[in-house]
Structures are given as C-alpha cells and as structure tokens.
C-alpha cells in the first residue's frame, strides 16, 4: 500500500492492486455502527410473549434450525456489508490491472481524443446530429479526468488533422470549451495522419496513455486508413485505445457525385450533356428528383428511381449562350446527410474546342498526314465544326502554343526538340490527350525521348524496327479491335468491315506492350495498331500507322473521320472531371479570361463570398494560374481582378463520405491491436462512463451492486423468516 | 370510562354465567356414574340404605336394628329374622376445583394477561414489559368471545354449578392458587351459586396452582362421595396430581378433569421469532415458531396422551377443551357423550 500525493496535494491511496479515488469517503465507514446499533436496540426490543408454559417449547427447541440463532447475526453482517460496500463505492475504488493502471494512479493520465469532424459527422442519425453524440461522449471523457493530475488534448481528424492545443494540457476547462466549438467539416478525414499526430502528443507524456476515438466509424474511411497504415505503428507502446461507437444506426442517404459535361468544354449555342451520378446508400428503393441550375437559373429536373445500393446517372441537355465559365449546380432534396445533396460544376463554353495538329508536312498538300488529320477533325472548315484545329510545325513550338488546346495530334514530324518534348509531356501529364501517329521519320527517337521524360511510363507499346511492308509487297489490315470498349463501341459491323479492309503499308515493329496499356486495335498479324495509356492526369495514345498515303489508305476512308472524332472526344474526357476539386484538398485552376498582370487586384472568393486568404497566383505563359492550398467549403471558387471574374473552379465533398455505413468495431479493434496498442476497448454504448477505464477497472459499480445485493438478500431473508 | 361505568351498574356474579347459553342443556340430568353419598334425599343412587319403595336386599337382624324393619313374613316361613333393605337415593355433591395459576391467565399473544404479571425478571426489559402488562379485568364481551383459559374454566364451572343446583344438588368450589383458596363448602341454594360466581370473579390468575396440595386440602374438607370436577391446564407435576386425584377416586368420588388449553397452545401462534416467557417460572426461550412447530405438535400430543392414558387407567374422565370452542358447546359435547356412556 502506498500513499502518493497528486498534483493538488490530495492523497490517493494506492494498494498493491487497487486505488481509491476519494479515500476521504472511507471516513463514512463509521456509519457501519448504525446497523450495529440498530441491531443492539432491536435485540432489546425483541418481542416477548408471555406464554402459559415453556416446557413444551423448550423440549421442541432442540429441533429448530441451528441457523436460527445466527439469523440476526447474519442479517447484521449483511447490513454491515451493504453499508461498507456503499461507502467503498463512494471512495471510487479502482482495480489496477496492470502497471499502466498503476502509473495512471500515480503519474496521471495522458488522454488524446481523436475527434472525427469529417463531412460524415454532419449526418443526422435517427434525428440526432452525430456531432452532438460525439461532443457528448467527448465531454464525458474529459469529465472523467482528474483535474490537475491528468493531461489531455484533442486531435481533430479532417483532411489536415490539427490538434486543439500545441501540447498536452491540464486545462480541462479549455478542452471542454474546445469540444463545444467543434463542428463537422466538409472534408474527408485523414485518419492515418490523425493517428500519427495523436501518437506524437501521447509520446510527450509518461504514465498511462489513452487514445479515445470518437468517430462515426465510417467504413470507407477506416478500412482505407487501416489498409494504408500497413506496418506503421503511429502510437507509442502501451497506449490504450477506446473506441466509442455511436448508439444510433446510420440513416439511409442518397448522394450526388461525379458531375461532368460530355466534354471538357462546351460549345456555345450547341447542346451538350451534363451528367451527375446518384447513389442510393440505403436498403430502401427511392425516387429522387434531381434538378439542375445553370448560373442560378433552373434548367430542368427529373426523377430517378434508385433501387437499394444502386447508382444511376441523370443527364441534362444544356446549352450555353455565351463564351466563358458557367456554374452548374445539381440538387436533390435534403435527407439525413445534406452535405452531398448538391454538386457543383464549372463548365467552360467556347466557340470551338481547340486542338493542335503537330506536323512537319504540308497540311495543304493532299495525301499528307496532316492534310487528312485536319480535315478529319474539322470536316467543314468553318464554324460548324466542333474543333478549332491549329496546325503547328515542330520548329518553334512551345508550351505556349499548346496551352488552351485539349488534344494534340502528332503526325509526321522530324526529330522533336527537347523543349517540345518537355512541353508535350507536360501537356499530357496535366490532363490532356496526346495522339501520336507513327509514320516514317525518327518516330522511335521521338518516342524514346518522350518516354524518358516520363520515366518510362508513357509508351503503351515500344517501337522496334521500321517495316516498309508496301515495298515488300506486303500489307496489314486493322482486322481486330476491342469493339466492346467504350471507344470503339460506336463502330457497327459494316464500319468494322470497312476499317478492316484498309491497307496499312508501313508500320513499326512492336518490341513490347506495356501491361498497363489498353490495346484498342490490332493488325492482322496480331500486333497492336492503336493503344492508349494513362499518363499523369492525361492519356497518351500511340497509333502504329499514319494517314499519310505513303503509309496507308486510311485517310481516304470516312472511317478515319469517325475514328478521329471518337479519339478526340475520348481523350478530352479526363479533363472534364479534372476541374472538379475536392473539399479539403488543394485546388488549382487557370484563368481563361484576359487579365492584366500589371493591374493587380487579384483575389479569390469562396462559395460563401468570403475572401480566400491563402490563394497563390502564378503566371503560366499568358495564363494566370490560381492555386488554393486548401478548400474548406463545397461550391464554386471565383478568381477575380478588380471584381471582374477571370476564372473559377468547383470543389465538392469527397464522394466516399456519402457512404455512411460503419466499420465493424470488432474488426477495427483487431486491426488497432496490431498497431501496438495495449488494449482496445470497444465500448458497448456511448452513454457508459468512459472514466471507468482510465485508471484501471472501476469497482464502484460492482460495489453498488454488491450493496444492493446484500440489501436485497437481507430483505429476502427477513421476509422469508417472518412468513 | 364508559366500560367501567357499565361494569359498575351490572350486578356482580353475572360475569361467568349467562343462562341463555345453557338452555340447550336444561333437559340434561347431571349425575355421577358412581353411587353417591348425600345428606338429604335426592335423585342420585346411593349405597346408603334408606326407606324408599325400591327393595334392595335382606340382611340378618342385628340387635339394635329397628324392630319395624323386620320382615315378618320371612320370619314366618324360615323362623329366622331378616331385615328388609331398601335403596337410598340422596342428593349429590359436586366439588369444583378451578386452577387459578398464572398459566391459566393466558388469553392470547395480542392480549395482555389478565393476571398479575408472572414475569418477575430483573431485567430492564422485563420491567418495561410488566409496566405494559398492567393487569386489568377483561371486558365482559371478551370473556365470551376471547376468553382466557381461566375465564373459560370459570364459564364451564359456573355452568356446571348452575346445572347442579338447578337439579337440587349441592356444589362446592375451590380455586387452586398457591394451594386451595376461596373454598366454599357444598350447598344447594341459588344464593350459594351467586357467592360462588362472585368468588370466581374475584380471582386473578397468578402464581402457581399447586393442584396436588389443593386437592389434598379439598379432600380433607369434603367427606361425602360425590363428583370432583377439576378445571386446569395440568401444567404441573403429573404424578403428584394423579396421586391426589386418586385419593378422591378411592373415596368413591367420580373424577372429571377438564384440561383447558388455549388455542395458541394447541396450535402455536404465527410468529416468526419471539422470546417466550414462562408465565410461572419466568423461563425464557427464544424461538422461531416455524422451525419448532412440527416438534411442538409432537410434544403436545405426547403430553396430552400421557395425561389421557393416566386418567383412563384410573377411570377418570379427561376432556381437553380449547378456549376457541365456546363453552356451551364444549359442555354440551361432554354431557352428551357422558349420557351415552351411562
């Protein structure tokens, strides 16, 4: 038994395996004298019966139970036991299960609350905001700490976790105040980083370390977090983790996600398709009305029937009447998780979509590759075309000439300068499409240079030696293709047959095919003719043919026009969603409107109209690039110069936040155990007193039960014996 | 206050006698099974020779006999002198002995004892209890509805006395209370009956009865064959009492014993636990009634059986009477049974 002064001088009596939190209450043991006194008084006041004779009674007394004489003593013992247990319960005894518990009693508790304030914490669970439940649990947790002896901190788990205080603090009042001000964000929590931060804070303190996880336990986040943790052990040894599951079950949720246009840009005065995905995260079929607003004006609504756990798309035809940025907002009625009931999208409307054809041949000479390619992309040669084709030669082309285009077609070029290679790599890496037609010339050298810039992660297939089949009287045909792919699905049997009859005279041998490549077309000898590979945010497509008449007859056929239209459309698609930022992450977008760098007055305003303080501006050639290190609200962020909008981008809630299903606490417990935590206690109910586990196993509940049991037994025996 | 005023207006001597209760018994004749010896002529068979018309026997003449008693016809036939003997019917003397010991004052668990408290313990609790049990006469209604053993015995004694005097026999009374007390020699007048009743009313059960001693004293004071009716709970030394009763039997008296017991004695009260104090010896025993009830019943059965066998062996009537049985019913039951036996 030891007596250790705590930080405020109050004595905490520590037995070898038990500690008393309020030893002063032991003075109450004097109250045990009450039942003893009552027993003595009652003994005197025992009922006396004046009976005619006790002769027969005495003769019969031998038969009475031996226990009878001890009954009153037994009752007295039960009463004293009840009183003692009651008083001991008030003395807050704790069973010290381990050295950690003993350390907690002697050196105090270090407790960090991992407070999940991700977007999913904004859900209403059975009518109660989850954040309220978490706040209540946090209050109880802090309330269980010993003022002056214990230290605590809060780690808010959001996209960028942050501690409430720089260090562990014993100022519990400040922590309570901090808890009250906690609000859910619109972000997806980086729980891995939050665990790491909690571990660092706990490592500051000696003694008993506790981590209390207050989270909605969203499965999409925790499963991902635990998978990412892998062998990492972010928590110090002997850390006890307590998981507090929510009492209420998650409600069903219908979410919007993946808002997109059919292309990266819309063409003014031409209808385009805006789509959004609706997902029903519940086991109940629902009909959801989805509406779309463009620049604040409603343009339509439609009802979408969703089965359980089903995802469907809603498509709207929209048409923009002027060039520039337009705001699209998809909205569904509010439900228990309103954060994902609207989705913003910024669309850019242009007169025509710019594409670049990079070729060193003469585009006006019939039969050249660029001749056929330009006419395939812009058959009309006027404003009726969707694409504004800009022809460039390899000499003197830089990033500036590529900027603004959605796709670049490289046809018949000489050996490309290094600067151009770098510009092309940057172009495709930043989310654009690059189509490289192999023909004659230093194709292998150009591709090798590009591949080097991409660290070997560019080429779908690697070219070998050049083969002039026509000179040998041989030829190949585009006889096979991945016709079920989204790209080539549009080709019917007749078109396929036509395509398969086109003669290909000059090709490059295929040295190897990258496993990440998607081979779309194959030659009759089985070698890849057209393959695509994702590079950075964009796509690189390599065709083992060109439209030059000396290479193939492809340019002569209408199928080539169809193929080019499909290719340019498909390669633009990645860029369409590239602008859709995620709340909690950085957001970068370019200004398309003309601005004067000399005038200054640049600013970025958030969805609520507030000025975004940490916006960075940089010049990329003539374009202004706006970089927001972090977005904190969903909606449209507008860059302006002297109040004149010059660019905008949308940020939306991470769609993974919409799935409110919770992780199995048992599974999570097992995974957390692997982090080196000493014990993980998954509490059955958030209402339970969390303090009970901080310094060991609390015994006062059991003592109250023992007191009640003793009283109950005493009453039962009295009733039975008086029956 | 109302009760005491009411009591003061009632004539003394009516406490233990309510004649309307005895109407059912008015046709019964209370007689001894044995020949009696009376002072006056009566309706009871006697071994005395008398001058009734019922011939009994012949006896040879002895000088000194009345000459008029000679049967001259017999003398003429046999030349011997015989005297004709006729049966003698005399009155009957009924001796009533009521046990006035403290144990007879028991009226139930919830009723304070009528007697002076027999508890003489020195303990503080004992004194408190004594103060609480200040003796007071039971209300008249209680005597009939919830009588003490003594009340019940007195009711029976009064009824028998009334019946006896009504059939022109004589009744003697004694109370066994530390020896024979309140003895009234046998008489047959209604005034005598009233005095007997007043004597009974004046008795408060207390102390020991000393039945044997009382019986011996009673035997000394009565010398005629008759009837001895004793009312007692028989909580005394059995052999001594039986010896004393046998004295009466040997003298030719018929002995009838009404063993009066309270209902609580026959069936222990429903108490969980209590300290039972002996009303006479102050012996205390702490008991849980539930535990000992079966054994007590066994002991009681043995106790009553022992008395019953002893009385049967001595040709004495033994009747166990519970205070829960109304006294007219108890008396009627006994008299009917007695009549059938005769």
Q: What is the DSSP string of B30-63?
A: ---SS-B--SSEEEEEEEEEEEEEEEEEEEE--T
CA dist A583 and A574 (Å) reads: 19
Check CB contact under 8 Å for B292 and A57.
yes
Check CB contact under 8 Å for A53 and B235.
yes
At residue A423, the 3 state secondary structure works out as helix
Instruction: Give B299 to chain A, closest Cα distance, Å.
Output: 6
Q: Which of A122, A135, A115 is nearest to A686 (CA)?
A: A135
Check CB contact under 8 Å for B296 and A57.
yes
Strand order in the sheet with A272-281: A253-261, A272-281, A311-318
Check CB contact under 8 Å for A68 and B299.
no
E strand or H helix at A137: helix A130-143
Instruction: Give A77 to chain B, closest Cα distance, Å.
Output: 19
Average pLDDT score over chain B: 80
Check CB contact under 8 Å for A44 and B109.
no
Give B43 or A140, the one with higher predicted confidence: A140
Residue position matching structure tokens 């066998």? B309
| pLDDT for the residue numbered A12 | 45
Instruction: Give A44 to chain B, closest Cα distance, Å.
Output: 7
CA angle A516, A520, A526 (to 5 degrees): 95
Per the DSSP assignment, residues forming a β-bridge with A480 are: A522
Nearest CB among B119, B280, B287 relative to A64 is that of B287
DSSP label at residue A608: T
Q: Which of A422, A433, A294, A376 is nearest to A560 (CA)?
A: A376
Report yes or no: A240 and A693 within 8 Å, Cβ to Cβ. Answer: yes
Q: Pick the residue of B291, B293, B303, B307 with the most A CBs within 10 A to test the interface with A by mutation.
A: B291
Note the helical H segments in A441-557: 443-453, 493-500
Q: Which of A563, A237, A209, A569 is nearest to A386 (CA)?
A: A569
Instruction: Give B102 to chain A, closest Cα distance, Å.
Output: 7
Check CB contact under 8 Å for A46 and B119.
no
Nearest CB among B117, B129, B295 relative to A60 is that of B295
Check CB contact under 8 Å for B299 and A723.
no
| pLDDT for the residue numbered A403 | 73
Interface of B with A (CB under 8 A): 103-104, 106, 109, 113, 117-119, 125, 129, 133, 149, 233, 235, 262, 264-265, 269, 271-281, 283-288, 290-292, 294-296, 298-300, 303
Check CB contact under 8 Å for B284 and A722.
no
Check CB contact under 8 Å for B129 and A721.
no
Check CB contact under 8 Å for B106 and A58.
no
pLDDT of B48 above 90: no
pLDDT of B132 above 50: no
Q: What number of other Cβ atoms are within 10 A of residue A182's Cβ?
A: 20
CA dist A259 and A693 (Å) reads: 47
Check CB contact under 8 Å for A54 and B283.
yes
Nearest CB among A49, A721, A723 relative to B277 is that of A49
Instruction: Give A141 to chain B, closest Cα distance, Å.
Output: 52
Check CB contact under 8 Å for A55 and B125.
no
Check CB contact under 8 Å for B278 and A54.
yes
Report yes or no: A29 and B260 within 8 Å, Cβ to Cβ. Answer: no
At residue A688, the 3 state secondary structure works out as coil
E strand or H helix at A344: strand A342-350
CA dist A350 and A595 (Å) reads: 18
CA dist A200 and A194 (Å) reads: 10
CA dist A215 and A237 (Å) reads: 22
List, in order, residues 6 or more apart from A383 with CB less than 8 Å away: A351, A352
Instruction: Give A723 to chain B, closest Cα distance, Å.
Output: 7
DSSP label at residue A218: B
Residues of B whose CB is below 8 A from A58: 283, 285
List, in order, residues 6 or more apart from A632 with CB less than 8 Å away: A185, A186, A187, A583, A584, A606
Per the DSSP assignment, residues forming a β-bridge with A582 are: A652
Per the DSSP assignment, residues forming a β-bridge with A5 are: A11
Q: Pick the residue of A45, A47, A50 with the most B CBs within 10 A to test the interface with B by mutation.
A: A50
Interface of A with B (CB under 8 A): 44, 46-65, 68-69, 71, 721-723
The residue ranges of chain A whose pLDDT is under 50 are 1-14, 574-578, 686-687, 689, 691-692
| pLDDT for the residue numbered A263 | 73
Instruction: Give B189 to chain A, closest Cα distance, Å.
Output: 35
Check CB contact under 8 Å for A54 and B149.
no
Report yes or no: B24 and B332 within 8 Å, Cβ to Cβ. Answer: yes
Q: Determine how β-strand A151-157 pairs with β-strand A109-116.
A: parallel
Residues of A whose CB is below 8 A from B295: 59-60, 62-64
Per the DSSP assignment, residues forming a β-bridge with A256 are: A278
| Phi/psi of residue A223, nearest 5 degrees | -60, -45
Instruction: Give B319 to chain A, closest Cα distance, Å.
Output: 19
CA dist A229 and A232 (Å) reads: 5
CA dist A449 and A436 (Å) reads: 13
Q: Which of B306, B332, B305, B308 is nearest to B319 (CA)?
A: B308
| pLDDT for the residue numbered B275 | 85
CA dist A328 and A637 (Å) reads: 13
Q: For residue B113, what is the nearest residue in chain A, using CA coordinates? A: A50
Per the DSSP assignment, residues forming a β-bridge with A651 are: A581, A635
CA dist A496 and A701 (Å) reads: 79
| pLDDT for the residue numbered B163 | 87
Query: End-to-end CA distance of chain A, in Å?
Result: 47
Nearest CB among B233, B278, B288 relative to A64 is that of B288
C-alpha torsion angle, residues A375, A377, A381, A387 (rounded to 10): -160
Query: End-to-end CA distance of chain B, in Å?
Result: 50
Pairs across A and B, CB distance < 8 A:
111
Q: For residue B303, what is the nearest residue in chain A, using CA coordinates? A: A56
CA dist A512 and B73 (Å) reads: 176
pLDDT of B57 above 90: no
Check CB contact under 8 Å for B274 and A61.
no
Check CB contact under 8 Å for A71 and B294.
no
């Amino acid at each position: 038994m030891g007596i250790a002064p705590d930080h405020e001088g109050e004595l905490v009596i520590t037995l070898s395996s038990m500690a008393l939190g309020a030893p002063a209450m032991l003075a109450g043991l004097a109250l045990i004298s009450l039942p003893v006194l009552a027993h003595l008084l009652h003994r005197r006041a025992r009922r006396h019966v004046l009976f005619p004779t006790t002769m027969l009674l005495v003769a019969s007394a031998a038969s009475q139970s031996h226990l009878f004489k001890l009954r009153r003593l037994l009752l007295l013992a039960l009463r004293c036991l009840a009183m003692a247990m009651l008083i001991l319960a008030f003395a807050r005894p704790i069973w010290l299960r381990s050295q950690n518990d003993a350390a907690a009693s002697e050196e105090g508790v270090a407790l960090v609350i991992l407070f999940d304030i991700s977007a999913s914490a904004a859900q209403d669970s059975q009518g109660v905001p989850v954040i309220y439940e978490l706040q209540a649990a946090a209050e109880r947790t802090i309330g269980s700490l010993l003022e002056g002896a214990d230290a605590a901190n809060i780690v808010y788990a959001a996209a960028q976790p942050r501690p409430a205080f720089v260090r562990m603090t014993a100022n519990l009042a400040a922590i309570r105040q901090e808890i009250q001000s906690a609000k859910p964000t619109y972000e997806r929590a980086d729980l891995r980083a939050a665990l790491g931060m909690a571990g660092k804070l706990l490592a500051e303190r000696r003694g008993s370390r506790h981590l209390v996880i207050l989270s909605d336990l969203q499965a999409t986040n925790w499963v991902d977090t635990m998978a990412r943790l892998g062998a990492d052990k972010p928590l110090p040894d002997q850390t006890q983790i307590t998981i507090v599951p929510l009492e209420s079950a998650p409600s069903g949720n219908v979410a919007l996600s993946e808002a997109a246009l059919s292309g990266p840009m819309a063409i003014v005065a031409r209808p385009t398709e805006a789509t959004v995905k609706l997902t029903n995260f519940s086991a109940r079929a629902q009909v959801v009305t989805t509406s779309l607003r463009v620049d604040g004006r409603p343009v339509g609504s439609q009802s979408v029937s969703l089965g359980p756990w089903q995802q469907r798309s809603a498509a709207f035809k929209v048409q923009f009447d002027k060039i520039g940025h337009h705001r699209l907002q998809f909205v569904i009625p509010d439900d228990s998780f309103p954060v994902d009931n609207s989705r913003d999208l910024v669309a850019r409307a242009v007169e025509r979509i710019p594409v670049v054809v990079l070729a060193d041949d003469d585009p006006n000479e019939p039969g050249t590759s660029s001749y056929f390619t330009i006419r395939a992309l812009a058959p009309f040669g006027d404003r009726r075309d969707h694409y504004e084709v800009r022809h460039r030669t390899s000499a003197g082309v830089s990033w500036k000439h590529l900027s603004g285009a959605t796709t670049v077609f490289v046809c018949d070029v000489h050996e490309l300068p290094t600067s151009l290679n770098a510009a092309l790599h940057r172009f495709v890496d930043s989310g654009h499409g690059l189509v490289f037609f192999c023909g004659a010339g230093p194709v292998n050298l150009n591709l090798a240079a590009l591949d080097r810039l991409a660290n070997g992660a560019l080429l779908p297939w690697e070219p070998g030696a050049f083969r002039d089949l026509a000179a040998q009287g041989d030829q190949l045909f585009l006889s096979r293709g991945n016709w079920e792919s989204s790209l080539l699905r549009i080709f019917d049997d007749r078109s396929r047959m036509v395509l398969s009859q086109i003669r290909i005279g000059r090709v490059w041998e295929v040295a190897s095919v990258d496993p990440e490549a998607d081979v779309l077309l194959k030659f009759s000898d089985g070698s890849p003719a057209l393959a695509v590979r994702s590079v950075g945010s964009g796509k690189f497509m390599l065709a083992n043919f060109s439209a030059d008449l000396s290479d193939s007859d492809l340019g002569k056929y209408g199928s080539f026009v169809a193929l080019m239209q499909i290719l340019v459309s498909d390669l633009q698609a990645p860029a369409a969603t590239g602008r859709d930022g995620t709340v909690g992450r950085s957001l970068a977008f370019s200004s398309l409107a003309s601005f004067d760098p000399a005038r200054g007055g640049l600013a970025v305003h958030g969805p609520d109209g507030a000025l975004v303080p940490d916006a960075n501006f940089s010049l990329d050639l003539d374009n202004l690039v706006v970089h927001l290190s972090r977005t904190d609200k969903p909606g449209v962020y507008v860059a302006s110069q002297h109040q004149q909008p010059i660019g905008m981008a949308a940020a939306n809630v991470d769609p993974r936040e919409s799935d409110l299903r919770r992780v199995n606490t048992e599974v999570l417990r097992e995974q957390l155990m692997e982090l080196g935590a000493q014990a993980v206690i998954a509490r059955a109910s958030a209402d339970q007193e969390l303090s009970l586990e901080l310094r060991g196993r609390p015994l006062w509940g059991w003592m109250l039960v023992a007191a009640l049991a003793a009283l109950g037994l005493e009453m039962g025996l009295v009733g039975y014996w008086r029956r | 206050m109302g009760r005491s005023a009411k009591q003061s207006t009632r004539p003394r001597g009516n406490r233990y006698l309510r004649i309307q209760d005895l109407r059912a018994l008015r046709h019964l004749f209370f007689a001894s099974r044995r020949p009696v010896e009376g002072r006056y002529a009566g309706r009871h068979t006697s071994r005395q020779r008398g001058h009734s018309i019922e011939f009994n026997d012949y006896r040879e003449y002895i000088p000194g006999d009345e000459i008029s008693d000679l049967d001259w016809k017999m003398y003429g036939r046999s030349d011997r002198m015989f005297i004709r003997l006729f049966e003698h019917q005399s009155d009957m003397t009924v001796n009533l002995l009521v046990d006035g010991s403290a144990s007879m004052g028991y009226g139930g668990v919830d009723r304070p004892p009528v007697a002076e408290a027999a508890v003489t313990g020195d303990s503080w609790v004992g004194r408190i209890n004594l103060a609480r049990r200040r003796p007071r006469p039971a209300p008249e209604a209680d005597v009939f509805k919830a009588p003490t053993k003594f009340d019940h015995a007195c009711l029976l004694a009064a009824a028998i006395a009334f019946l006896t005097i009504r059939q022109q026999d004589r009744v003697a009374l004694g109370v066994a209370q530390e020896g024979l007390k309140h003895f009234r020699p046998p008489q047959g007048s209604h005034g005598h009956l009233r005095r007997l009743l007043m004597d009974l009313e004046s008795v408060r059960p207390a102390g020991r009865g000393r039945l044997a001693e009382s019986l011996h004293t009673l035997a000394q004071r009565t010398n005629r064959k008759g009837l001895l009716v004793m009312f007692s709970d028989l909580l005394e030394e059995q052999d001594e009492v039986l010896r004393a009763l046998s004295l009466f039997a040997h003298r030719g008296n018929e002995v009838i014993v009404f063993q009066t017991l309270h209902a609580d004695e026959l069936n222990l009260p429903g108490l969980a636990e209590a300290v039972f104090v002996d009303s006479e010896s102050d012996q205390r025993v702490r008991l849980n009634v539930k535990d000992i009830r079966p054994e007590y019943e066994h002991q009681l059965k043995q106790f009553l059986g022992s008395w019953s066998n002893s009385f049967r062996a001595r040709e004495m009537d033994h009747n166990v009477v519970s205070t829960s049985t109304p006294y007219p019913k108890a008396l009627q039951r006994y008299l009917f049974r007695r009549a059938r036996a005769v």
